[in-house]
Amino acid sequence: MFTINDFKKVVRELDSLTGMSGASLPVRKTRSQRTLASFVSNVTRNGFGEIVRVEPNRFEVSALILSLDDEKTFREIIKHEYCHYLANIIYQDNCHHDKRFKEQCRRIGAEATEPTYGNDSITKASEKIAKHRLICNECGHVHTFSRMCKTIEAAVQGHATCTCGSRSFTYKQRGE
């Protein structure tokens, strides 16, 4: 389990490596289960829609990531977002995952692709904090949700399909 202070500690370490000041940015905790973490900036455009200035605003981290018990994955996610911070500030552009972003990844030793739900520790953390779960009765895959939604309702009625093709699910709420 990690905290916002743990997040900031890693950013301070990266700042000491790069000479930047990412640790001065606020870190906001979100409840998103789709976006694991992000770097948010304010973008100013000219009358032609071209970016003229990028100002760092904040980092965001999901409660899911803070609930991990895998420090390596936690650090890698932060390094990935820090590279977005570096690239966008250095180049004054939204660099997405382009070669400038990847250059910053090489600079600090980060993976260019952040861990996803294919990562076991993220999957386990997601299952642990999910309020609602649909378990495929065919392949056993657990689909997690933070709130009741139409997908859950459709699955319970047999109208949703798992990636394996099955339409048979068991629905469970947290604590069951």
Per-residue model confidence (pLDDT) at position 111: 87
Residue 44 confidence (pLDDT): 94
Contacts of 34 (CB under 8 A, 6+ apart): none
Residue 44 and residue 51 in contact, taking contact as beta carbons nearer than 8 Å? yes
Q: Return the bridge partners of 55, or none.
A: 42
Regions of the chain short of the pLDDT cut 70: 114-118
- Strand 27-30, strand 51-62: pairing: parallel
DSSP per-residue codes, 100-161: HHHHHHHHHT--SS---TTSHHHHHHHHHH-SEEEEETTT--EEEESS--HHHHHHHTT---
The pLDDT assigned to 118 comes to: 62
Long-range interactions of 158-166: CB distance < 8 A, separation 24+: 160/134, 162/136, 162/138, 163/139, 164/136, 164/138, 164/139, 165/138, 166/136, 166/137, 166/138, 166/139
Rounded CA separation 73/59 (Å)? 17
Tell me, what's the pLDDT at 155? 92
Q: What is the pTM of this model?
A: 0.75
